[in-house]
């Protein structure tokens, strides 16, 4: 049986298992989850992929420090990611781990094809390698001899490597990007990448001589596969590149790779060039989001200002965290977050805004209509603008529009004062409440990709047709 539905394949970066999930890794995963939910609601055949990156020196180093056997270390840490995503209401269709057999098989095949393409050659490389970044650094990228992203001294490596002729791909990439055959969003990132390509691309090393806990090159076991290439290929290995060509041909190319702005060169230059080399289609689009700071400072473990998303979800609910991250900072821009800001939005927008509207409407239905909703009035069903914004990754705008409706409904109740009207005009009050109930159902549907639990609660209580003292949706936090 063939599936006639439109397919939608969306991915997140796969996260290094040297650390537990933090707010930065939760961010693209929540955004991709919202997109996946949205495309599922409209009936598309969605594949939402996330996972963990488990090879390389960085992981080996962390495992060593922890004193745990490396296999056990990656198993335990990878499980922390799936558990965290579950707690945050994130529902991927698949979770890929780079230590899985299906991935290793696909990477071997990928490298064999790459070798056959004639685009690899042997050479010598000399340079500074930062284990934190898992990449070589140019002299001018270092600050006082340190990698500015990891505050650590890179190692000077001089070794024989296999190289990929990336330098040959500039013109092809430029034309694909400029005519939007391969889209890079937002536009500022597209400009950044095209300017970078115009400066001229250099060949890159695709193997290393000494990396720990990495896969061997299929034709030269003295060399290990550069972890970034191993990782990038997850997008293909997960959908059956090596063992299920039918599935692979159905889902590839990806509709969206959601990534952070820190890794766009890998995704918008190296990845498409590799795909061209092995004769595969380019992904349709990459969307790059911005970075969070905390109180204006970079978030880092050493500074001790990392926000734990699971802790925040425990305290404020997963839906509140999802709402906050997508509402506070326009997706694609940098922004500052803190628990204070989360609490402020929780109390104002959720407890006093949506929560209050829901309590007022349900309480009045209970009091003035005996809790009975026999039939819903036709709701406006204007899903247009909010969802259109969501479709374009403009979550903040879509949510702002929904909250305008919430504010409007709360004001309408303040103005009409149903509690004063109910004696003299009970029918009018009943009509008003039925309209508000319909509006709430509409809001619940619009919000469902971002706040699935809350949406379900509103829907099941209102649609039960018999309303009795529902719990508040959000209890105020002092
Ligand atoms: N393993 C690579 C990705 C390979 S994808 C084929 C990697 N992993 S990572 O765990 O270090 O980071 C993954 C992503 O986390 C970053 O690209 C970024 O999307 C996100 N973030 C990490 N810190 C962040 C912030 N402070 N703010 C927002 N997002 C951040 O890179």
Which pLDDT score, from 0 to 100, does residue 209 have?
87
Same domain, 354 and 247: no
The answer to whether residue 180 is domain-embedded is no
Distance 391 CA to ligand 1 centre (A): 22
Strands 335-337, 15-16: pairing kind: unpaired
The answer to whether residue 18 is domain-embedded is yes
Taking CB atoms and a 6 Å cutoff, what residues make up the pocket around ligand 1? 13-16, 24-25, 27-28, 53, 231-232, 234, 259-260, 262-263, 291-292, 299
The answer to whether residue 441 is domain-embedded is yes
Same domain, 127 and 225: yes
The answer to whether residue 64 is domain-embedded is yes
Distance 411 CA to ligand 1 centre (A): 42
First to last CA, the chain: 55
Domain that holds residue 159: 7-165+203-252
The residues with which 200 forms a beta bridge, in sequence order, are none
Domain of residue 421, CATH code: 1.10.730.10
Domain of residue 210, CATH code: 3.40.50.620
Cβ(436)–Cβ(413) under 8 Å? yes
Structural domains counted in the chain: 2
Cβ(466)–Cβ(338) under 8 Å? no
Same domain, 77 and 207: yes
The answer to whether residue 17 is domain-embedded is yes
pTM: 0.95
Cβ(239)–Cβ(251) under 8 Å? yes
Nearest alpha carbon, ligand 1 atom 10: 15
Q: What is the pLDDT of residues 81-112, one digit of tens each?
A: 999 999 999 999 999 999 999 999 999 999 99
Listed residue (7, 154, 129, 31) closest to 85, CA to CA: 31
Which pLDDT score, from 0 to 100, does residue 302 have?
66
Which pLDDT score, from 0 to 100, does residue 378 have?
65
Confidence of residue 379 (pLDDT cuts 50, 70, 90): low
Atom of ligand 1 nearest to the CA of 267: 6
Distance 412 CA to ligand 1 centre (A): 44
Same domain, 84 and 211: yes
Ligand 1 pocket test, pick from 10, 11, 12, 13 with the greatest ligand atom count within 8 Å of Cβ, gives 13
Measured CA to CA, the distance from residue 454 to residue 460 in angstroms comes to 10
Distance 259 CA to ligand 1 centre (A): 7
The answer to whether residue 1 is domain-embedded is no
Q: What is the pLDDT of residues 271-302, one digit of tens each?
A: 999 999 999 999 999 999 999 988 777 777 66
Same domain, 359 and 241: no
Atom of ligand 1 nearest to the CA of 12: 5
Same domain, 118 and 245: yes
Q: What is the pLDDT of residues 423-477, one digit of tens each?
A: 999 999 999 999 999 999 999 999 999 999 999 999 999 999 889 989 999 999 9
Which pLDDT score, from 0 to 100, does residue 156 have?
92
Same domain, 237 and 348: no
User: Quick check: helix, strand or coil at residue 81?
Assistant: helix
Q: What is the pLDDT of residues 113-123, one digit of tens each?
A: 999 999 999 99
| Mean pLDDT (the chain, rounded) | 94
The answer to whether residue 45 is domain-embedded is yes
Same domain, 234 and 347: no
Cβ(22)–Cβ(306) under 8 Å? yes
Return the sign of the alpha-carbon dihedral for residues 370, 374, 378, 379: positive
- Of 252, 276, 311, which residue constitutes the final position of a domain? 252
Mean pLDDT of 27-44: 97
Same domain, 217 and 75: yes
Nearest alpha carbon, ligand 1 atom 8: 15
- Of 252, 273, 290, which residue constitutes the final position of a domain? 252
The answer to whether residue 138 is domain-embedded is yes
Mean pLDDT of 398-427: 96
Rg of the chain taking only CA atoms, in angstroms: 26
Report percent pLDDT > 90 for the chain.
Answer: 85
Ligand 1 pocket test, pick from 12, 14, 15, 268 with the greatest ligand atom count within 8 Å of Cβ, gives 15
Which pLDDT score, from 0 to 100, does residue 381 have?
54
Mean pLDDT of 5-14: 97
């Amino acid at each position: 049986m063939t599936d006639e539905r439109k397919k939608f394949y969306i991915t997140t970066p796969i996260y290094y298992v040297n650390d537990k999930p933090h707010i930065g890794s939760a961010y693209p995963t929540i955004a991709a989850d919202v997109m996946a939910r949205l495309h599922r609601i409209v009936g598309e055949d969605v594949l939402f992929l996330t996972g963990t990156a488990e090879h390389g020196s960085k992981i080996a180093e962390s495992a060593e420090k922890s004193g745990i056997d490396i296999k056990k270390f990656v198993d335990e840490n990878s499980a922390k990611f799936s558990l965290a995503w579950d707690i945050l209401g994130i529902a991927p269709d698949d979770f890929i781990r780079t230590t899985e057999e299906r991935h290793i098989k696909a990477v071997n095949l990928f490298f064999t094809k790459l070798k056959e393409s004639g685009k690899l050659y042997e050479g010598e490389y000399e340079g500074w390698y930062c284990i934190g970044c898992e990449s070589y650094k140019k002299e001018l990228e270092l600050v006082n001899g340190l990698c500015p992203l990891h505050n650590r001294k890179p190692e000077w490596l001089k070794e024989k490597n296999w190289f990929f002729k990336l330098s040959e791909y500039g013109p092809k990439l430029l034309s694909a990007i400029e005519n939007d055959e391969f889209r890079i969003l937002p536009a500022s990132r597209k400009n950044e990448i095209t300017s970078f390509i115009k400066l001229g691309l250099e060949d890159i090393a695709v193997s290393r001589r000494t990396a720990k806990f990495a896969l061997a090159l299929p034709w030269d076991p003295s060399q290990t596969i550069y972890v970034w290439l191993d990782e990038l290929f997850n997008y293909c290995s997960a959908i059956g590149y090596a063992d299920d060509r039918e599935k692979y041909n159905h889902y590839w190319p990806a509709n969206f790779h959601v990534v952070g702005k820190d890794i766009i060169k890998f995704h918008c230059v190296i990845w498409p060039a590799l795909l061209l080399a092995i004769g595969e289609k380019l992904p349709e689009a990459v969307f790059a989001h911005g970075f969070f700071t905390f109180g204006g400072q970079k978030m880092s473990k050493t500074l001790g200002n990392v926000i734990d998303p699971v802790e925040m979800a425990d305290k404020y609910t997963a839906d509140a965290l999802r709402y906050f991250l997508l509402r506070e900072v326009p997706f694609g821009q940098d922004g500052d977050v803190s628990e204070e800001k989360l609490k402020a939005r929780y109390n104002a927008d959720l407890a006093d805004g949506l929560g209050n509207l829901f309590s007022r409407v349900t309480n009045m239905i209970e009091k003035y209509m005996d809790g009975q909703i026999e039939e819903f009035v036709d709701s406006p069903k204007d899903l247009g603008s909010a969802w259109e914004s969501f479709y374009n990754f403009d979550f903040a705008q879509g949510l702002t529009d929904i909250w305008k409706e919430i504010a409007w409904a709360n004001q309408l109740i303040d103005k009409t004062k149903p509690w004063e009207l109910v004696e003299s005009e009970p029918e009018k009050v009943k009509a008003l409440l039925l309209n508000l109930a319909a509006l709430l159902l509409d809001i619940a549907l619009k919000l469902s990709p971002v706040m699935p639990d809350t949406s379900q609660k509103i829907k099941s209580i209102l649609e039960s047709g018999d309303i009795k003292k529902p719990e508040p949706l959000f209890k105020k936090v002092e």
